Each structure stands twice: as structure tokens, then as C-alpha cells.
């Protein structure tokens, strides 16, 4: 049983991938069990994520299924090794109270491609410390100073995913999320400057969807789409509710969200136009004035 007494998001991903390859090879679980010198129950539990597969079993299964791509072997064997690895995020109470958020950070950490649509807030991986503190201080829930500092520490760790040239990151942001005045002009300016700086990285693409693109903006609420291999095909989609994080993994959901993101990117300003737009925004925010009441 994976750590924590329930399937981990990594063990589920591994099991689902192995099941897809088995079905493509038109083999049943009993045939696989015989090949790896195990039981049908073991194969079933691996495919459901109830148990963690050993890298050796993964290798044997892929050989049986006729998989030749060595990148697939490397990716799934690494996933098997990492299935029970304890992530840094589990040391924070903020994460522990929402298993869905813990699953999301696991997926985000493993992702090779991250694409996000945000009509209301700046994407989490682009948020500065002061922007996050302003958000937390503006909600109905009163957070202790310790909880806010913990949330900031988590965000700082997550930002490293793109700031250290890791995952490829693409964001489409609706104009109001950038232009709406914040309680702190200083925090607003610093946030826009941060977006400009991060957008210079080769692995990052930022696009602004003009406010006039109402139809495109209402194709969907916010979401994050994640991919894990050398190709950008999505394998998970996540979004926040007021109290939890929801992760979708069904193929139909992946296709729908991929089409929505493509439509949003097509309607948005190009990355270069978007950076010019943000620079104009910066010039319009007074510098050094008193904060708004």
C-alpha cells in the first residue's frame, strides 16, 4: 500500500499508464501476472494504484507490451521509484488539510509542461510574496501570521519550478486580473515587474487576453493543465474551489480543456504584445504615492 494508506497520485498515474499499454497490447491481467511471476491480484492493484510497482516489474511489463520508447521506460520506472517518496509540501499544515492540494503539488512538481488560464487572479507560479499576502488578507477567512508565512513559504518553493528553468510554463491571463487596482500600488507594481522578469525565460510564455474578448474569457473558469512526458499532451487538469482543490484525470476532460486553452491562446495577444501591454500598465500605476485606503 502506498504511504498514507491510500493510492498516491503518482501510483495512480503509473497504474493508469501501465493499464493503457496493456490494453493497447490486447493482453489480460492474468497473462501479465504470469510474465512477471506475480498474481492477477497484484497486477490489478498496481493498475489501480493500490500498490506501488517495483521498477523491475514496470520494465518487464513494458517489454511484454512491446513498448520500445526508452523515454517511456525511464519516465515510468522513475515514477515507480518516486511513488512513496515524501514530498517537501507534506511538512506544511496548509497542504495537509487539503489532500487535493497535496495531489496537485505532486503533479505540478512532476510536470514537464504547465499551462494555465486565469481570469481573476495571477497564476500561482507567478505570484509575488506581497501579492499573495494581499490576497490572503482580503478574504473572509482570517489567517494567523504564522499561516500566512507558511503559505508564502510554499509559494516560494513552487515558484522554483519555472524560475530554475524546469517545466515549460504557458499562461493566458484575462486583462482585468492584471489591471484591476490592488489595495497596495507598490505590491501591484512589483507584481507586474515580476511577471515581466519571469516572462524573459525561454521556458515561459505569458499572454494577455484583452477584456474585449468576452466570449473567449467565458469558455471556462480558471484551470491548470499538466503534462508529464516529452510531449505537451495533457494528463491532468486542476482547479480550486473555495475550500479545496479538484484534480481531473479522465481523457475526455483532457481533450476539452486542451481545446479551450488553444482557443484562449488564439484570442489572446501574442507574448510580445502581452509584454508591451504590461509595460504600458506599469507606466499608468503611480510610483511612490500613498497607498489607497
What number is the average pLDDT over the span 53-73?
A: 94
pLDDT at 3 over 50: no
Distance CA 39, CA 32 (A): 9
CB atoms within 10 A of CB 48: 14
Average pLDDT on 215-238 reads 92
| Domain residue extents for the chain | 9-82, 88-284
CA distance linking residue 242 with residue 161, whole number of Å: 25
Phi and psi torsions of 235, nearest 5°:
-125, -10
The pLDDT value given to residue 107: 93
CA atoms within 13 A on the CB side of 29: 12
220 pLDDT more than 80: yes
Cα–Cα distance list, 26 to 31, 187, 235 (Å): 10, 57, 22
CA atoms within 13 Å, Cβ hemisphere of 168: 12
Superfamily designation of domain 9-82:
lambda repressor-like DNA-binding domains (1.10.260.40)
* Residue 166 clears pLDDT 50, i.e. is over it: yes
pLDDT band at 91 (very low <50, low <70, confident <90, very high): confident
- The per-residue pLDDT of the chain, averaged, comes to 90
Cell numbers standing for residue 154: 510554499
Q: 271, 160 in Cβ contact below 8 A?
A: no
pLDDT tens-digit profile of 111-157? 999 999 999 999 999 999 999 999 998 877 888 899 999 999 999 99
Q: Is the pLDDT of residue 2 over 80?
A: no
Q: What ranges make up the beta strands (E) of 107-203?
A: 113-118, 168-174
Which set of grid coordinates corresponds to residue 288?
A: 511612490
pTM metric for this prediction: 0.86
Q: What is the mean pLDDT of residues 170-199?
A: 95
Ranking 46-60, 90-104, 259-273 by mean pLDDT, the lowest is 90-104
User: What confidence tier does 293 reach under pLDDT thresholds 50, 70, 90?
Assistant: very low
Residues 10-57 have pLDDT tens digits of 998 899 899 999 999 999 999 999 999 999 999 999 999 888 899 999
What CATH number has the domain spanning 88-284? 3.30.870.10
Q: What is the pLDDT of residue 289?
A: 54
Question: Once rounded to an integer, what is the mean pLDDT over residues 199-220?
Answer: 96
Do β-strands 113-118 and 223-227 pair in parallel, antiparallel, or remain unpaired? antiparallel
Q: How confident is the model at residue 288 (pLDDT cuts 50, 70, 90)?
A: low
Residue 218 has pLDDT above 50, yes or no: yes
pLDDT of 199:
95
* pLDDT band, very low/low/confident/very high, at 94 (cuts 50, 70, 90): confident
Q: Which helix (H) or strand (E) holds 238?
A: strand 236-240
Amino acid at each position: 500500500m502506498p504511504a498514507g494508506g491510500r493510492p498516491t497520485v503518482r501510483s495512480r498515474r503509473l497504474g493508469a499508464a501501465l493499464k493503457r499499454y496493456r490494453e493497447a497490447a490486447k493482453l489480460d491481467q492474468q497473462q501479465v501476472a504470469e510474465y512477471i511471476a506475480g498474481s492477477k491480484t497484484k497486477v490489478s492493484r498496481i493498475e489501480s494504484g493500490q500498490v506501488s510497482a517495483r521498477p523491475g516489474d514496470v520494465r518487464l511489463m513494458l517489454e511484454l507490451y512491446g513498448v520500445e520508447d526508452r523515454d517511456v521506460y525511464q519516465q515510468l520506472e522513475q515514477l515507480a521509484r518516486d511513488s512513496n517518496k515524501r514530498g517537501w509540501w507534506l511538512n506544511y499544515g496548509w497542504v495537509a488539510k487539503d489532500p487535493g492540494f497535496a495531489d496537485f503539488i505532486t503533479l505540478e512538481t512532476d510536470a514537464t509542461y504547465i499551462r494555465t488560464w486565469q481570469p481573476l487572479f495571477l497564476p500561482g507560479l507567478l505570484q509575488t510574496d506581497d501579492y499573495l499576502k494581499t490576497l490572503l488578507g482580503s478574504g473572509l477567512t482570517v489567517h494567523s501570521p504564522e499561516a500566512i508565512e507558511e503559505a508564502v513559504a510554499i509559494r516560494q518553493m513552487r515558484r522554483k519550478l519555472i524560475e530554475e528553468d524546469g517545466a515549460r510554463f504557458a499562461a493566458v491571463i484575462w486583462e482585468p486580473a492584471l489591471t484591476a487596482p490592488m489595495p497596495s500600488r507598490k505590491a501591484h507594481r512589483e507584481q507586474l515587474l515580476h511577471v515581466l522578469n519571469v516572462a524573459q525565460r525561454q521556458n515561459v510564455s505569458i499572454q494577455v487576453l484583452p477584456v474585449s474578448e468576452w466570449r473567449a474569457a467565458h469558455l471556462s473558469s480558471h484551470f491548470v493543465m499538466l503534462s508529464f512526458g516529452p510531449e505537451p499532451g495533457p494528463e491532468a487538469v486542476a482547479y480550486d474551489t473555495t475550500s479545496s482543490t479538484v484534480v481531473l484525470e479522465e481523457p475526455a476532460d483532457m481533450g476539452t480543456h486542451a481545446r479551450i486553452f488553444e482557443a484562449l491562446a488564439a484570442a489572446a495577444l501574442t507574448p510580445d504584445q502581452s509584454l508591451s501591454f504590461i509595460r504600458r500598465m506599469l507606466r499608468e500605476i503611480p510610483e511612490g504615492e500613498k497607498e489607497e485606503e
